Structure 1
Amino acid sequence: MPRVYATPEQLAEQTGQPAPDDAERLLRRASEDIDDACRTAIYDTDAAGMPTDPAVVEALAAATVAQAEYVIGQGGDDTGAAGRWDSVSIGPVSMSGRRDGPTTPDAVDVGPRALRALTRAGLLPGVIW
């Protein structure tokens, strides 16, 4: 079972708007992005792999919500396609202009606020000595 670090209620609280209908899917995908970004982070977990330190729990929730907001801000595209094409349209949302996204297959496109939340918590850069 995948780890999910934030709830639809936390997303709604942060955005000040009701959580979208697909909030659970969006937060599950955002949690996967955060897991990928924290591959080398070291923190205590329980048997299910969930963090046990309240500060880490809070940081991962904040980063997950920020990542979900980032994806919503891109028109809901969490496929990475928006970072590779000159024009993307999803329903009434249209984006144009080329933006560099992840360039390697294992790279993850994490939003700036999510990266800052992880950095403030000491989870990035995650270098192991």
Structure 2
Amino acid sequence: MPRVYATPADLTAWTGKAAPADAERQLARASEDVDSALLTAVYRTDADGMPTDPDVTAALRDAVCALVEYRAETGDSGTGARDQWDSVSLGPASMSGRRTTGGRPGGVDLGDRAERALRRAGLLPGVVC
């Protein structure tokens, strides 16, 4: 079962707004993306793979909430489709310049606030806590 690092209540506390109807789905996607960004991070976990250090738990919660907030502000669904092309025209159909996620942790666009939460906790770039 995938790990989810934040709840709809956490998201409400983070944004100051009611969580959207699909908050659980968005939080699960964001948690997967945070996991991808942390492939080289080392921290203590329980049997379910959840962090046991309260500071790491808080950083992951904050990063997930920040990522959901970032996606809401940028109109990103979290599917990765937004980053496929630099330019798209509908008539006569043309697409150009495939975007890349080079240089982003785990190839994921976390947004600045989520990335900073993980860096402050010492989780990026993959260090031993």
Q: Which has the higher contact order (CA 8 A, sep 6+)?
A: 2
Q: Distance in 1 between matches of 2:74 and 2:98?
A: 12
Pick the structure with greater CA Rg: 2
Distance 1:81 1:75, change over 3 A: same
In structure 1, how many angstroms separate the alpha carbons of the residues matched to 2:47 and 2:109? 28
How far did residue 78 of structure 1 move? 1.0
Aligned pairs for 1:61-76 (under 5 A) are 61-76=61-76
Note closer, same or farther for the CA distance 1:40–1:6 as it changes in structure 2 (3 Å cut): same
After superposition, the Cα gap between the structure-2 partners of 1:27 and 1:53, relative to the gap in structure 1 and judged at 3 Å, is same
Q: Counterpart of 1:78?
A: 78
Matched ranges for 1:1-129 at <5 A: 1-85=1-85, 86=87, 100-102=99-101, 107-126=107-126
Normalising by the residue count of structure 1, what TM-score does the alignment of the two structures yield? 0.82
Identify unmatched segments of 5+ residues in structure 1.
89-97
Q: Return the alpha-carbon distance in structure 2 between the equivalents of residues 48 and 110 of structure 1.
A: 24
Deviates more, 1:68-77 or 1:107-116: 68-77
The gaps in structure 2 that reach 5 residues or longer are: 90-96
Q: Report the TM-score when normalising by structure 2.
A: 0.82
Work out the percentage of aligned pairs sharing the same amino acid.
56
Task: Give the secondary-structure state (helix, strand or coil) at the position aligned to 1:17.
Answer: coil
For residues 76 and 18 of structure 1, the distance between their equivalents in structure 2, rounded to whole angstroms, comes to 19
Alignment root-mean-square deviation, CA: 2.3
Distance, in Å, in 2 between the alignment partners of 1:7 and 1:25 is 10
Compared CA separation, residues 53 and 59, structure 1 to 2 (3 A)? same
Structure 2 partner of 1:93: none
Deviation at 1:101, TM superposition (A): 4.4
Contact 2:27 2:68 in 1 (8 A): yes
Partner of 2:107, secondary structure, is coil
**Matched-pair contact (CA < 8 Å) for 1:27–1:68:** yes
